[in-house]
C-alpha cells in the first residue's frame, strides 16, 4: 500500500492486506496518510481485502482504498498515488517528510529500495509479511537495528532449460514448460523459453538413419533451416491435433505408445474415480488424460481466436485469471506430467504454482496489520527500545503462544548497505565480463541499485557507467579489461536516487565455474552466521537484545506515515518460498526467538531471562529459577539461550 503515518512488509513473501492496515490506521487516529500502489484490483483480491468489491475490479487499489475509507472516516486526510514506489519522483526528500514508513510489499526489489530510502532519510521503517498462516513484523531504524539487507536472502530458485525441455522430474517443471509453450504459441517469443527440439535439427531425430539423412540434407543446404514454434503453429492454422502430436508425441517417441493407450483405458484408476466425485469442487478435481486432451484442444482454439483479434505483431499475455490461458497451462502441464510418469495435479494446484501464489489468509493479514500499528505507536511514543520482531506461528509453541516476540538485532557492521562505508569484493573475469553485465547483473540485480553511476578509481575519475541516457551506452558491450580494469581495481558505484554509494574491489579470476559470471567474495552478510556447531544459518533478523536504544525523537502533533504496497505476484520469487519454509521449520520447533547469533557472555544474566513481563506480568522468583535451570540444560546441549528460549 502507499504512504502515511505507517508502513509495512518483510521476510515473508505475501503482502499484508492494505485494506486492514489502512482501516487500522484511520481508526487508531492517524490523520495524514499517503498511499502508493501501482497495482489494480483483481478478482483474487476480493476474498481478503474488504475495502474492495466486485465493481472495483480493474481500478487502482490506492484510489479505491481511499474512497472506501473516507466513507466511514471522512475526516481522514488520505493522499493516494497510482504509481510505483521506485519512481524517481519519490526521492530521499519525499521520504523525509514522513514520521514513519510502513511497507506492504511482496517482492524483494521493492523492499530493498524502500529499505535504502528510509536509511538515507533516517526514517523508521516497519517491515512485515505473511505466508499462509505464518507472519512477521519487525522494525528497522538506522544505527539502531539491522536493516532489511543486513542478513543474506536465498537466491531465486531457477530451473535449467535442459531440465524444463528434456528431463522434467517434478510437476513444477511441467508447469513452467506449459507457460513457456503458451508464450511460444501465443505470446512474446523468447529463445531461452523454447520448449522442444527443432524438427529440422538432425540431433532431434530418433533413428540413426534419419539423423544421418538430415545431416546430409543440412550440409547440402549449408545450414539447418529452423522455424519458430509460433511460425510453425500459424502455418498449421493452430490445428490442435498437430500441436498435440508435436508437443506430446513427436518429440517424446519413447513414451507415446503408453500415452495413446491411456486415452482409452480399460477401467478407470482409483484416483480418477475419487476425483470425479460430485462432492469435490471442480477446480480441485484431477481429470483423466482424455479430459485434459479435450481441454487442450478447446483452449488452443479459443486462444488462437483471441490472437487473431490482435493487431499484427501483438501477442497475448499469460494471466492466471484468464480462463482460457489457465485451461491451456492446466491441460498442457498435466499431459506432460502423464508423458513423464508423474501424478497429475488439479487446476487449483497448478494455478497456485503457475501464478506463484502464496495463499493469503484473511485472519493472518488481520493479525499482522494490527501488530504493524502497535509497533508504529511505540515508535511515535519515542519507545523504540520496546519494539520487537514478532513472529506469528502456525501452531502454538511449548508455552502455548502463537505470537513470539524477539528483541531487535543491532546493525551488522559489515552490511554492504547500512555500514558506514559499504564495500564489497567481486570475483570475475575482466576479459569476459562486459560493462552491461556489470550494470544489469551485478549492480542492479545483485546489489539492487536502480540507476547506478560507476567510475573507476584510477585517479582520473573515468566514468564507466552513467545513469544519464545515452552517455555511456557505447561502453555496454566492451569488456572491463578494455578500460584498464584488472585485479585490484576499485570501482565506485553511486545510486543518487537511493543516496547510496558502494565501493567494489575487483578480484580477477579465470577459474570461475562454468556458466558463473561473477561471485561476491566480500559479501559481508554471507559471513555473518552461526558457529560451526550450529546447523542452521540465520535468514531473518532477531536474536540478541543489546542493540535497541531509546529513540530521541518525539511524536509531532500531526503524525505522517508512508505505506507502500505492491502485489506483483509474478515477481514473487520461489526463493522467498524457500526462506519461508526455513523459517517455518525453526518456528515450529518451539523456539521463542529464532536467532543465529551467539549471545555474548555479558548478556547472559538472569534479568535477560525475563522476556514475557510485558504480556504476562512480572516473573516470580520461581519463574526465574525455572529460567536458570532451562538455560543450563540448553547450554549443556550446545544451544543458545535467548530470552529463556532455545536456539539449537
Q: How far is CA 79 from CA 66, 85, 152, 370, 636, in A?
A: 8, 14, 35, 22, 56
Grid cell digits, residue 54: 466486485
461-469 LR contacts (CB < 8 Å, sep 24+): 464/435, 464/438, 464/491, 465/435, 465/438, 465/439, 465/493, 467/496
91 annotated among ligand-binding-site residues: no
**Calpha distance 474→124 (Å, rounded):** 41
153-160 LR contacts (CB < 8 Å, sep 24+): 153/108, 153/539, 153/575, 153/579, 154/539, 154/575, 154/576, 154/578, 154/579, 154/582, 155/575, 156/573, 156/574, 156/575, 157/573, 157/574, 157/575, 157/577, 157/578
Grid cell digits, residue 368: 499482522
* Cβ–Cβ under 8 Å, residues 577 and 358: yes
Clarify whether 162 is annotated catalytic: yes
**Calpha distance 407→642 (Å, rounded):** 9
107 annotated among ligand-binding-site residues: yes
Rg of the chain over all Cα atoms, to the nearest angstrom: 28
140 annotated among ligand-binding-site residues: no
3 annotated among ligand-binding-site residues: no
Instruction: List phi, psi (to 5°) of 427.
Output: -90, 125
Q: How far is CA 169 from CA 154, 230, 581, 633, 643, in A?
A: 23, 26, 21, 44, 44
**Calpha distance 461→626 (Å, rounded):** 63
Q: Which DSSP letter does residue 54 get?
A: G
Residue appearing with cell numbers 527440439: 197
61 annotated among ligand-binding-site residues: yes
45 annotated among ligand-binding-site residues: yes
Grid cell digits, residue 225: 533451416
73 annotated among ligand-binding-site residues: no
Cross-strand pairs, 455: 463, 492
527 annotated among ligand-binding-site residues: no
**Calpha distance 391→409 (Å, rounded):** 15
412 annotated among ligand-binding-site residues: no
DSSP string, 468-537: STTSSGGGTTSBGGGGT--TT-EEEEEETTTTEEEEEEEEE-S-PPTT--EEETT-HHHH----TT--S-
Catalytic residue among 162, 593, 639, 648: 162
632 annotated among ligand-binding-site residues: no
**Calpha distance 416→524 (Å, rounded):** 7
Closest CA to 115 of 83, 88, 92: 92
Instruction: List phi, psi (to 5°) of 145.
Output: -125, 170
108 annotated among ligand-binding-site residues: yes
Grid cell digits, residue 294: 479435450
591 annotated among ligand-binding-site residues: no
* Cβ–Cβ under 8 Å, residues 18 and 40: no
* Cβ–Cβ under 8 Å, residues 78 and 70: yes
Residue appearing with cell numbers 502508493: 36
134 annotated among ligand-binding-site residues: no
Grid cell digits, residue 426: 567481486
* Cβ–Cβ under 8 Å, residues 503 and 424: yes
406 annotated among ligand-binding-site residues: no
174 annotated among ligand-binding-site residues: no
**Calpha distance 201→240 (Å, rounded):** 23
85 annotated among ligand-binding-site residues: yes
Residue appearing with cell numbers 562454468: 514
Known binding-site residue numbers for ATP: 37, 45-48, 61, 84-85, 106-111
**Which residues belong to the annotated binding site for Zn(2+)?**
147, 150, 415, 418
Annotated binding site: 37, 45-48, 61, 84-85, 106-111, 147, 150, 415, 418
Which residues are annotated as catalytic? Answer: 162
Amino acid at each position: 500500500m502507499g504512504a502515511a503515518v505507517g508502513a509495512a512488509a518483510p521476510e515473508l513473501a505475501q503482502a499484508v492486506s492494505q485494506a486492514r492496515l489502512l482501516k487500522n490506521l484511520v481508526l487508531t487516529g492517524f490523520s495524514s496518510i499517503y498511499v502508493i500502489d501501482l497495482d489494480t484490483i483483481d478478482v483474487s483480491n476480493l476474498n481478503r481485502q474488504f475495502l474492495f468489491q466486485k465493481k472495483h475490479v480493474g481500478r487502482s487499489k490506492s484510489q479505491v482504498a481511499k474512497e472506501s475509507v473516507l466513507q466511514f472516516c471522512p475526516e481522514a486526510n488520505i493522499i493516494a498515488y497510482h504509481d510505483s514506489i521506485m519512481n524517481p519522483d519519490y526521492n530521499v526528500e519525499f521520504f523525509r517528510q514522513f514520521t514513519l514508513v510502513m511497507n506492504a510489499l511482496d517482492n524483494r526489489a521493492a523492499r530493498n529500495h524502500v529499505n535504502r530510502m528510509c536509511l538515507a532519510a533516517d526514517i523508521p521503517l516497519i517491515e512485515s509479511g505473511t505466508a499462509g498462516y505464518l507472519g512477521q513484523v519487525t522494525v528497522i531504524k538506522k544505527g539502531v537495528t539491522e536493516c532489511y539487507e543486513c542478513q543474506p536472502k536465498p537466491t531465486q530458485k531457477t530451473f535449467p532449460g535442459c531440465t524444463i525441455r528434456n528431463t522434467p522430474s517434478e510437476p513444477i517443471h511441467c508447469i513452467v514448460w506449459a507457460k513457456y509453450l503458451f508464450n511460444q504459441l501465443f505470446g512474446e517469443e523468447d529463445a531461452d523459453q523454447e520448449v522442444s527440439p527443432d524438427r529440422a535439427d538432425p540431433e532431434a531425430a530418433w533413428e540413426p538413419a534419419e539423423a544421418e539423412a538430415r545431416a546430409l540434407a543440412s550440409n547440402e543446404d549449408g545450414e539447418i533451416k529452423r522455424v519458430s514454434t509460433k511460425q510453425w503453429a500459424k502455418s498449421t492454422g493452430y490445428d490442435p491435433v498437430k500441436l498435440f502430436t508435436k508437443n506430446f508425441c513427436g518429440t517424446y517417441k519413447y513414451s507415446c505408445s503408453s500415452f495413446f493407450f491411456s486415452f482409452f483405458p480399460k477401467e478407470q484408476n482409483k484416483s480418477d474415480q475419487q476425483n470425479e466425485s460430485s462432492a469435490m469442487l471442480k477446480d480441485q478435481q484431477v481429470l483423466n488424460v482424455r479430459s485434459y486432451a479435450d481441454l487442450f484442444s478447446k483452449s488452443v482454439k479459443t486462444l488462437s481466436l483471441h490472437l487473431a483479434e490482435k493487431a499484427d505483431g501483438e501477442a497475448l499475455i499469460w494471466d492466471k485469471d484468464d480462463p482460457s490461458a489457465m485451461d491451456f497451462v492446466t491441460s498442457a502441464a498435466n499431459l506432460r506430467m502423464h508423458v513423464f510418469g508423474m501424478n497429475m495435479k488439479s487446476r487449483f494446484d497448478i494455478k497456485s504454482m503457475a501464478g506463484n501464489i502464496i495463499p493469503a489468509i484473511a485472519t493472518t493479514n488481520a493479525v499482522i496489520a494490527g501488530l504493524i500499528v502497535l509497533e508504529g505507536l511505540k515508535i511515535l511514543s519515542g519507545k523504540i527500545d520496546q519494539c520487537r520482531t514478532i513472529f506469528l506461528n502456525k501452531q502454538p509453541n511449548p508455552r502455548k503462544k502463537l505470537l513470539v516476540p524477539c528483541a531487535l538485532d543491532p546493525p551488522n557492521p559489515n552490511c554492504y548497505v547500512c555500514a558506514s562505508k559499504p564495500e564489497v569484493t567481486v570475483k570475475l573475469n575482466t576479459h569476459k565480463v562486459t560493462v552491461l553485465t556489470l550494470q544489469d547483473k551485478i549492480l542492479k540485480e545483485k546489489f539492487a541499485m536502480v540507476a547506478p553511476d560507476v567510475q573507476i578509481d584510477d585517479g582520473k575519475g573515468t566514468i564507466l557507467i552513467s545513469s544519464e541516457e545515452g552517455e555511456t551506452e557505447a561502453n555496454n558491450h566492451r569488456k572491463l579489461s578494455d578500460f584498464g580494469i584488472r585485479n585490484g581495481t576499485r570501482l565506485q558505484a553511486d545510486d543518487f536516487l537511493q543516496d547510496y554509494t558502494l565501493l567494489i574491489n575487483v578480484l580477477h579470476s579465470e577459474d570461475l565455474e562454468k556458466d558463473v559470471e561473477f561471485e561476491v567474495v566480500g559479501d559481508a552478510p554471507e559471513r555473518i552466521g552461526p558457529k560451526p556447531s550450529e546447523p542452521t544459518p540465520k535468514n531473518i533478523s532477531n536474536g540478541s537484545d543489546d542493540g535497541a536504544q531509546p529513540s530521541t525523537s518525539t511524536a509531532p502533533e500531526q503524525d505522517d506515515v508512508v505505506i507502500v504496497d505492491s502485489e506483483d505476484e509474478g515477481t514473487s520469487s520461489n526463493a522467498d518460498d524457500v526462506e519461508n519454509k526455513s523459517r517455518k521449520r525453526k518456528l515450529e520447533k518451539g523456539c521463542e526467538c529464532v536467532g543465529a547469533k551467539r549471545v555474548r557472555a555479558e548478556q547472559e544474566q538472569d534479568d535477560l531471562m525475563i522476556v514475557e513481563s510485558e504480556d504476562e506480568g512480572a516473573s516470580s522468583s520461581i519463574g526465574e529459577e525455572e529460567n536458570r535451570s532451562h538455560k543450563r540444560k540448553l547450554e549443556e546441549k550446545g544451544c543458545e539461550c535467548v530470552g529463556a528460549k532455545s536456539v539449537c
